[in-house]
Amino acid sequence: GAVVSQHPSRVICKSGTSVKIECRSLDFQATTMFWYRQFPKQSLMLMATSNEGSKATYEQGVEKDKFLINHASLTLSTLTVTSAHPEDSSFYICSARAGDSRFYNEQFFGPGTRLTVL
Amino acid sequence: GDSVTQMEGPVTLSEEAFLTINCTYTATGYPSLFWYVQYPGEGLQLLLKATKADDKGSNKGFEATYRKETTSFHLEKGSVQVSDSAVYFCAYTGSSNTGKLIFGQGTTLQVKP
């Protein structure tokens, strides 16, 4: 149990276009989802925290108008990179936290999405 | 503030060698502690966890003990394999009540045959 999927796994787009990344919890309800960004050979940088049905909370320095997060249901959160530029190229990883005492304080991570902006 | 410090890598070992990756954290209260592993090109997988002081998390031959007195959660394995080559991240739930994870910088392990 506790599987998180991301789609797409890899995307290449032109500069100026928008890209949507989906994060789904497949076998549990995720009360909270997190979006991370990872640069090559570096740690994960938390971008934002989203709770189902409410606005995302962004970390300092993350542009909320550029990285739109929607958490419309207990199993789906989306991250849209608007007007993408080459500097947005990165590995984006989502995680989900279950509202279930079996998984106390544990986050389950998706496999990541490699975004390349040309 | 909240932070995690891991030993710098890369760590290069021969197969069957003993592994230790140090991890210390700064936190108030009683956070939960985790080790995650990331294989090339993939997301993170939970390796093991401990939720209270003196707990020992273990999985696939890896172990780590929650030491509150030294605020440490060092990762150990008695005999590493080539397939253990990956990046290992220490993490803990920060002081806020949001469930946010605070990650260390990651330690690359390379195991040579």
- Ordered DSSP codes for A13-25: E-TT--EEEEEEE
Buried b (16+ CB within 10 A) or exposed e, B65-102: bbeeeebbbbbebeebeeebbbbbbbbbbbeeeebbbb
Question: Average pLDDT, stretch B97-111?
Answer: 87
**A51 and B CB contact within 8 Å:** no
Q: Residue B42: closest CA among chain A residues belongs to which residue?
A: A111
List chain B residues with CB under 8 Å of A32.
98-99
Q: Is the pLDDT of residue B2 over 90?
A: no
The reported pLDDT for the residue numbered B28 is 75
pLDDT digits (tens, 9 = 90+) for B15-57: 999 999 999 998 777 888 999 999 987 888 999 999 889 999 9
Which residue(s) pair with A24 in the sheet?
A5, A76
B86 DSSP assignment: E
Phi, psi (deg, nearest 5) at residue A63: -80, 115
Report how far residue B93's alpha carbon sits from residue B20's, in angstroms, rounded to the nearest whole number: 22
> What residue ranges of chain A have pLDDT lower than 50?
none
Report how far residue B48's alpha carbon sits from residue B64's, in angstroms, rounded to the nearest whole number: 8
Report how far residue B103's alpha carbon sits from residue B24's, in angstroms, rounded to the nearest whole number: 11
Q: Residue A109: closest CA among chain B residues belongs to which residue?
A: B44
CB atoms A34 and B34 under 8 Å: no
The reported pLDDT for the residue numbered A28 is 87
CB atoms B103 and A108 under 8 Å: no
**A8 and B CB contact within 8 Å:** no
Chain B residues bordering chain A (beta-carbon distance below 8 Å): 32, 34, 36, 41-46, 49, 51, 89, 93, 98-101, 103-106, 108
In 3D, which of B15, B25, B38, B43 has the Cα closest to residue B113? B15
Q: What is the mean pLDDT of chain B?
A: 91
* A108 to chain B, closest Cα gap in Å: 8
CB atoms B103 and A44 under 8 Å: yes
Q: Is the pLDDT of residue B97 over 70?
A: no
Phi, psi (deg, nearest 5) at residue B43: -80, -170
The reported pLDDT for the residue numbered B21 is 97
In 3D, which of B7, B76, B16, B26 has the Cα closest to residue B47? B76
Q: Is the pLDDT of residue B1 over 80?
A: no
Report how far residue A92's alpha carbon sits from residue A21's, in angstroms, rounded to the nearest whole number: 9
Q: Tally C-beta pairs within 8 A across A and B.
A: 53
**A112 and B CB contact within 8 Å:** yes
CB atoms A109 and B104 under 8 Å: no
